[in-house]
Amino acid sequence: MEETKVNMPLLGDTFPELHVQTTHGPMNIPGDLKGKWFVLFSHPADFTPVCTTEFVAFQKRYEKFEELDCKLIGMSIDQVFSHIKWIQWIKDALGIEIKFPIVAANDAVALKLGMLHPGKGTNTVRAVFIVDPESKVRLIMYYPQEVGRNMDEIVRAVKALQVSDQQGALAADWPNNDLIGDRIIIPPATNQADAEKRLQKSDTFECFDWWFCHKPLEK
């Protein structure tokens, strides 16, 4: 049997070009989104409980993503008419209007993104791709079908990537790190002279030691 090769994009790669049909009409991804951040997330199937809870959760944070100038795009290999019927059901039954597009992918699209779940037929995994305005993949999360995603973490990740691009590295659980809160980590000194300077009192940063210094977040 011929083995199917999965060309999954890696961090820093340009997001693969996809010409797809969505609930908002045809889209060229990432071309139509050049200059914007976007989150593309896949789900195993329409009309399933976990996926329904995820779509409601994404929609409830829609404005937060908009504030970050970040577009949301859903995806599964269901046909577009299934997507349309499902989001109509969500609106009618749950009172939630899904405002972001949902891609009707095929196996070729799913394989480009490494989203087909081995041993689970043609269902797609719960993948999350965060892509920057230059169409570069900046963060990837993969969840199994049985576990729903944490949407607040996805919002946090987008914001953290945007801040780190401008200001520097961020600590665990940013902006609520147990040691330094929302402060920005300064790159460690790379020579002895700079290391010694880091140990001197400064008005612009604080240090636990020369290799662990931090400064205030610029609002």
Looking at the annotation, which residues are catalytic? 51
Tokens 């041993």 map to which residue? Answer: 119
Residue 146 neighbours by CB under 8 Å, 6+ apart: 50
Q: Cα(94)–Cα(134) distance, rounded to whole angstroms?
A: 36
Domain ranges of the chain: 18-149, 169-215
Residue 33: the pLDDT is 96
Q: Do domains 18-149 and 169-215 have the same CATH topology?
A: no
Angle between helices 80-94 and 49-60 (to 10 degrees): 70
Tell me the CATH number for domain 169-215: 3.30.1020.10
Q: Note the pLDDT tens digit of each residue in 68-110.
A: 999 999 998 889 999 999 999 999 999 999 999 999 988 778 7
Residue with the larger pLDDT of the pair 47 and 110? 47
Q: Give percent of the chain above pLDDT 70.
A: 93
Fold of the domain spanning 18-149: Glutaredoxin (3.40.30)
Closest to 54 measured CA to CA, from 147, 148, 129: 148
